[in-house]
Amino acid sequence: DTPEPAGASRVAIELIDIRKAFGASGDQTTYAVDRMNLKIRAGEFFTFLGPSGCGKTTTLRMIAGFEEPTSGRLLLDGKEVTGVPAHQRNVNTVFQSYALFPHLNVGENVGFGLSVKGVATEQIRQRVKAALESVHMAHAIDRKPSALSGGQQQRVALARALVNRPSVLLLDEPFGALDLKLRREMQMEVKEMQRRLGITFIFVTHDQEEALTMSDRIAVMSNGVIQQVGGPVEIYEQPANRFTAGFIGDMNLLEARVAGRSGDRLALDAAGSRFDLQSDLALQAGDRCTLAIRPEALHFVDGDAGSPIRFAGTLSEAVYIGTDTVYGLSLADDNRLQARVRNSRDRSTPQPGEPGVLACAPSAIRILTQ
Ligand code: ATP
């Protein structure tokens, strides 16, 4: 059950049952990457997303050839590369710390690798020019890195990788050192560049917004294991389990108990409320599950009116964030719901300390069993 994208383009990278253990600590081997199966298509912008220590960098380093898998097989363009050294793989890596040579100018930095390989001077000149043009830095060819901003240095580092004409570019938190505004700019630019060049990009980040903005597909990772692979919309709207639901965007996770089943309808008890939801899941009376609800799917209602799904509690906080206000509602059994409601002048919402009732559409609730 190897997740793969739709479409007919060829597979650029295939990971088959890849595991990586660092050192041996007694009988209990822990894997930084555990049984990873994945196909990445040529021309995809593919992102590994997960919290610190989940194994993203280790995965990338194995693809690059800086690290060998403990077991499993790695195929680049259909050919096994397990054991093939990094410099013989047609992949290039861009790291967070872009480490340009300070005494060389931009053009020399970008051309350095080619001159070491003995490429002819005129060819180097042309390729350096083309690489710098693709990142909009041709005008700075004679400048020293110290005369460039952080974003410009990162662009030169990208050009230095592109000049090798890799079929796959690996990027490990490449914008980690940039401030937020520049980071957002670079995200747009690099995404556009990737589309234009058609190179396979494999990107590592812990920033879910960055992953959602840039990627064709995302692998969400936790503890060395892929939790879900899918496009940004799928990952956001149909999280497969509690981890993805909690990691991507703001999400309310409510513990629920199945009170009964009637046909395809489940009666659920959660946070002092009872309601019905349509579901194909194999759940029976007494089973536990988790309900995932986005804060923006909740709205305040008056008392018993309207929606069949309501949660009554006490407003614990209201935080104004410009277009919206984020409310916290304390519910029965120590539960809490966060609601994100658009601000409008003509609607009165409860104040902290007052009772409040939040409601949502049945379709806004996702039932999770893992
Ligand atoms: P971050 O976002 O912090 O870089 P990550 O998701 O990239 O995290 P990895 O760097 O791949 O995670 O690390 C995964 C696990 O493997 C961690 O528990 C880490 O401590 C461990 N690890 C990584 N490299 C080594 C190493 N060379 N020796 C021992 N353990 C390592």
CB 185 within 8 A of CB 210: no
Model confidence over 108-119: pLDDT tens digits? 999 998 988 889
Q: Band of the pLDDT at 96, cuts 50, 70, 90?
A: low
Mutate to test the pocket of ligand 1, among 18, 33, 57 (most ligand atoms within 8 A of CB): 57
Q: Band of the pLDDT at 27, cuts 50, 70, 90?
A: low
For the chain, the structural domain boundaries read 11-247, 252-368
Q: Band of the pLDDT at 217, cuts 50, 70, 90?
A: very high
Q: Is the CB of 53 under 6 A from ligand 1?
A: yes
Over residues 349-356, mean pLDDT: 87
Q: Is the pLDDT of residue 3 over 60?
A: no
Give the total residue count for the chain: 370
Q: Is the CB of 58 under 6 A from ligand 1?
A: yes
Query: How many angstroms separate the alpha carbon of residue 129 from the centre of ligand 1?
Result: 37
Q: Which of 133-137, 183-187, 300-304, 337-341 has the lowest mean pLDDT?
A: 300-304
The reply to whether CATH 3.40.50.150 applies to domain 252-368 is: no
d(C-alpha 254, C-alpha 270), whole Å: 7
Closest atom of ligand 1 relative to the 57 alpha carbon: 7
Query: Nearest CA to 300 among 290, 310, 288?
Result: 310
CB 229 within 8 A of CB 238: no
Query: How many angstroms separate the alpha carbon of residue 109 from the centre of ligand 1?
Result: 29
Q: Is the pLDDT of residue 97 over 70?
A: no
Q: Is the CB of 57 under 6 A from ligand 1?
A: yes
Q: Band of the pLDDT at 175, cuts 50, 70, 90?
A: confident
Model confidence over 147-164: pLDDT tens digits? 998 888 888 998 998 898
Over residues 236-263, mean pLDDT: 94
| Two domains, one topology: 11-247 and 252-368 | no
Looking at the chain, the whole-number percentage of residues with pLDDT higher than 70 is 94
**What count of other Cβ atoms lies within 10 Å of the Cβ of residue 327?**
23
Q: Which residue has better confidence, 81 or 345?
A: 81
Query: How many angstroms separate the alpha carbon of residue 56 from the centre of ligand 1?
Result: 8
Average pLDDT, the chain: 90
CATH of domain 11-247: 3.40.50.300
Please tell me the predicted confidence (pLDDT) of residue 346: 62
Q: At CA 173, angle to CA 167 and CA 175, rounded to 5? A: 100
ipTM over 0.85: yes
Q: Is the pLDDT of residue 200 over 70?
A: yes
Q: Is the pLDDT of residue 332 over 90?
A: no
Query: How many angstroms separate the alpha carbon of residue 55 from the centre of ligand 1?
Result: 6
Question: Tokens 């790695």 belong to which residue?
Answer: 74
Closest protein CA for atom 10 of ligand 1: 57
Closest protein CA for atom 1 of ligand 1: 52
Model confidence over 130-147: pLDDT tens digits? 999 888 889 999 999 999
Q: Band of the pLDDT at 8, cuts 50, 70, 90?
A: low
Burial of residue 61, with CB atoms counted within 10 A of its CB: 0-12 exposed, 13-18 middle, 19 or more buried: buried
d(C-alpha 220, C-alpha 47), whole Å: 8
Q: Band of the pLDDT at 74, cuts 50, 70, 90?
A: very high
Q: Is the dihedral angle over the CA atoms 138, 143, 145, 146 positive or is it negative? A: negative
Closest protein CA for atom 7 of ligand 1: 57
Mutate to test the pocket of ligand 1, among 49, 54, 220, 223 (most ligand atoms within 8 A of CB): 54
Closest protein CA for atom 14 of ligand 1: 55
Please tell me the predicted confidence (pLDDT) of residue 81: 92
Q: Is the CB of 160 under 6 A from ligand 1?
A: no
Over residues 73-83, mean pLDDT: 91
Closest atom of ligand 1 relative to the 204 alpha carbon: 7
Please tell me the predicted confidence (pLDDT) of residue 155: 87
